[in-house]
Chains A and B, each alone.
Chain A
């Protein structure tokens, strides 16, 4: 019961302080950004400028081929600005590309340079075969450059035929993907939900130290662990609230909210216990800020691996935010890996309990000093 009363008191204090409202405001702000500023899916079509240095007949055949790939089956006459003058261009839009046919090679080079896009000149060689001249930006990867080099070893028709003949079968047919907007949510849940406790709990502890109320608590018949756990409880409530504010309007009823609750509670408990432990070594928030900031910087790193899946070194996977990010992602997916979520939750619960036990021991000694 003492734990409950402490928790209610902490809720009252939180609701009358500004940290609570900062978290709620942040959640609303993130929601607004996701809904109104982030598109459902980011634009992924590549823009290409092409100049056809071909005899009229070949040019017609080439344009016919592009036209067939256009999503509307036709082109659009557009005006593009180059060096403060407007030039005419044929614009085609396929499923994965936006293609501008540029009449002058010089204009093509200028456009590729100014807009940092791919430029290509297509011409005939001595043997009357198509020859490609690419204008790249210089920073493209070696892999991409090699791809351009080998893609013309055979003629295009042979390559397309070879591709069509390949048999590609997915291992699992019933898989789900997230939209680009939904894909951002695990980052929000991880940092604005689960890990926010790391910083906020330290602030709560130092506020109490500043007011001296810790001393008054220490001379009551209540235990230190009840004091600490009541604070964690408030942070867990806040993180659940702020997570639901973001999640519900975007994902509706699709996620498994029971698993979400489990992962939020266990990871939030872990982060708050870690925050408690860090705070136990310092007298005020200014002293603790450096260490907390360093921890926050380190746990942000897995975001890079999450956004760029190609970069995924082992040491990043050891950082706690990595499994949290992927745990939340699995929750959002229709057929997420429940075993993975349960394992992650259990792991953080165990580590959280160990950190809490150490913190409790330290606070018994340092709470009032």
Chain B
């Protein structure tokens, strides 16, 4: 569904690349997570894939269309939910959806049904300028489904939502995926990625550091972690060690020999911890 080969992008049109030699593929029906901290190059990549940024260097094909020559028809297959809500504040929720559905050449979804789906039933005729941030976000999310997309780009879909609504949104994403929709999920929230994604890519400083399924990553890194609490100079210290990595094994052996151990647990690594382990950076 998505093929990216040797993608580069520079905002200053020089060698200062925001995205460097990025290559990956997303297969049909997959939920692909694009994970990284702010400024890592996630949005730049996604904006190129959706035609919002011009392709400078590399080869990109999305839903069977070459991104070098984007034609409006391509967007009949694509849905895009933005991180920042962007709806017409002077139009009502329903008017917003009614307008956007007319911009596609394919069968579209009923705006009332979509509003109900995202918990905005009863707010159809309210101007979105009077909506809360969360309501606007849900409307932006609903709008991205209006054309029954085959490929769905989701940028931080649960950011700013309360846990109950966020859970509903996750369910909708799962349901859509069950129907065969391919999803490209951009987020810095590892828990959502872990819960939803078939595969994830870790991107940092414009480069992809790793692509694999959360399951494989946990097999590789997660099962072999030990969390230790020990006393050093009267202070309680907590540290996590890999039982696979040689240097970690050695450190653990030294620690057991030299310090008083308070607790010791084998632990399954979270995706966030794996990210830190692999990239050496936090996801903030």
State the A residues within 8 Å of B (CB).
1-2, 5-6, 9, 12-13, 16-17, 211-213, 215-223, 365, 368-369
Are the C-beta atoms of B103 and A215 separated by less than 8 Å? no
Are the C-beta atoms of A221 and B84 separated by less than 8 Å? no
Mask of B51-84 contacts with A, CB within 8 angstroms, 1/0: 1111000000000000000001111101010101
10 sample A-B contacts, Cβ–Cβ < 8 Å, listed by A number: A2-B103, A9-B95, A13-B88, A13-B91, A17-B90, A212-B84, A219-B80, A220-B75, A221-B147, A369-B53
Are the C-beta atoms of B53 and A220 separated by less than 8 Å? no
A120 CB, min distance to chain B CBs, angstroms = 67
Are the C-beta atoms of A213 and B88 separated by less than 8 Å? yes
Instruction: Using A220-B75, A222-B72 as known contacts, say yes or no to A12 and B95 having CB atoms under 8 A apart.
Output: yes
Instruction: Using A12-B91, A13-B90, A17-B90 as known contacts, say yes or no to A217 and B103 having CB atoms under 8 A apart.
Output: yes
Question: Which of B72, B80, B86, B105 is in CB contact (< 8 Å) with A213?
Answer: B86
In the assembled complex, the Cα of A222 lies from the Cα of B51 at a distance in Å of 13
Verify if B99 is at the interface (C-beta below 8 Å from A): yes
In the assembled complex, the Cα of A369 lies from the Cα of B56 at a distance in Å of 14
Q: Which 9 A-B pairs have the closest CB atoms?
A: A212-B86, A220-B103, A5-B102, A222-B103, A16-B90, A219-B80, A368-B52, A221-B75, A221-B72
A154 CB, min distance to chain B CBs, angstroms = 75
Residue of A nearest to B128 (CB): A211
In the assembled complex, the Cα of A368 lies from the Cα of B46 at a distance in Å of 13
In the bound complex, residues from chain B placing their C-beta under 8 Å from that of A223 are 72
Interface residues of B in 87-133 (CB under 8 A from A): 87-91, 95, 99-100, 102-106
In the bound complex, residues from chain B placing their C-beta under 8 Å from that of A1 are 102
Are the C-beta atoms of B53 and A368 separated by less than 8 Å? yes
Are the C-beta atoms of B87 and A216 separated by less than 8 Å? yes
In the assembled complex, the Cα of A1 lies from the Cα of B99 at a distance in Å of 12
Are the C-beta atoms of A2 and B53 separated by less than 8 Å? no
Are the C-beta atoms of B91 and A215 separated by less than 8 Å? no
Are the C-beta atoms of A219 and B90 separated by less than 8 Å? no
Verify if B50 is at the interface (C-beta below 8 Å from A): yes
In the bound complex, residues from chain A placing their C-beta under 8 Å from that of B88 are 9, 13, 211, 213
Instruction: Using A219-B50, A221-B75 as known contacts, say yes or no to A5 and B99 having CB atoms under 8 A apart.
Output: yes
Verify if B199 is at the interface (C-beta below 8 Å from A): no
In the bound complex, residues from chain B placing their C-beta under 8 Å from that of A5 are 99, 102-103
In the bound complex, residues from chain A placing their C-beta under 8 Å from that of B99 are 5-6, 9
Question: Which of A12, A215, A369 is in CB contact (< 8 Å) with B86?
Answer: A215
In the assembled complex, the Cα of A211 lies from the Cα of B91 at a distance in Å of 12
In the bound complex, residues from chain B placing their C-beta under 8 Å from that of A368 are 47, 52-53
Residue of B nearest to A218 (CB): B52
A223 CB, min distance to chain B CBs, angstroms = 5
In the assembled complex, the Cα of A6 lies from the Cα of B90 at a distance in Å of 15
In the bound complex, residues from chain A placing their C-beta under 8 Å from that of B85 are 212
